Amino acid sequence: MAARSIASLTVSFGLVAIPVKLYTATESRSGISFNLLHKAPCGARVKQQYLCARENIPISRDEMVKGYEFAKDQYVMFTADELKALEEAGTHSADITEFVPISAVDPVYYDKAYYLAPDKGGAKPYALLAQALRESDRCAIGHWATRGKSYIVMIRPVEDGLVMQQLLYATEVRAISDLDIPRTEVRAQELKLAQQLIDAQSSERFDPTQYKDEVAERVAAAVQKKVEGEQITLAEEPEGGAQIIDLMEALRASLEKKGARKAEPAAKEKPARKPAKQVPTVDVEAPRRKGVKKAR
């Protein structure tokens, strides 16, 4: 099924204007939603109702007004017209203000993503911007207003075109310095083993199709069983908490396990030659001598 654009806008930088169509890059989570029901005796859905906290009586929508709590139980009220006047006027353009290295934007600021495709008359400048960004390893930063809100956007190149990524404002992102993270020294031998383990599990590209939402699949299977009148067998929770083991032994055991998996296909492809990149030899017997089980 062909993708359907949700809006048309103009990407502008300097005196260059690029007409583009906007497409959602993501889909809403395909999880299973549940309704609240009256458990017994009828199993019917329950309705949500708004009650006045002071008078404890039901309130209809037309009796409600929005308010901001500036002090404990003290509010200032706003009418719908007053709130409408405060909204940002929607625009049909994304105005680029600067170009920065792609690596300069921390992914923690990434919000919703949209695909951009050239609209009528926009193919040439679209291709020009995409190639210029790709070769300079930069992205464009700008503003876009829609549905009463103003957004920071980043336009970045991908293999076949451009993505417009909404960004969070600085006030919406917490600083990691707010966390209590103790400074800990890492020994050279521990770092070496950790790097070897990373090398053994490294891939050149991220393939999202290798990962599935196993929880959603389990829920869907359980729903189907319920529909068919079957009973669900509840899995027992594992006993005990996390096992505390020696860090060096855990690294060695993990490296041995991953190294064995990597070495097997290489041996089949070129049995007469050694692989170009070998994992350094480690003492795989050490975990057994010390009574530590191999990591699974």
Q: Is 286 exposed, middle or buried (0-12, 13-18, 19+ CB in 10 A)?
A: middle
Distance CA 181, CA 96 (A): 37
Chain mean pLDDT for the chain: 83
Domain 1-26+49-171 = CATH 3.40.50.300: no
Average pLDDT for 89-95: 80
pTM: 0.68
Whether residue 248 is predicted with pLDDT greater than 50 in this model: the reply is yes
The candidate with the shortest Cα–Cα distance to 125, out of 116, 138, 115, is 116
In this structure, is the dihedral angle defined by the CA atoms of residues 10, 16, 18 and 19, taken in order, positive or negative?
positive
Give 118's pLDDT tier (boundaries 50, 70, 90).
very high
Rg from Cα positions in the chain: 28
pLDDT digits (tens, 9 = 90+) for 220-245: 888 888 888 888 887 776 665 556 56
Which residues of the chain does CATH 2.40.290.10 include?
A: 1-26+49-171
Structure token digits, residue 296? 């699974």
pLDDT digits (tens, 9 = 90+) for 178-190: 999 999 999 998 8
Check if the beta carbon of residue 34 is closer than 8 Å to that of residue 46. no
Average pLDDT for 1-17: 85
Distance CA 155, CA 146 (A): 16
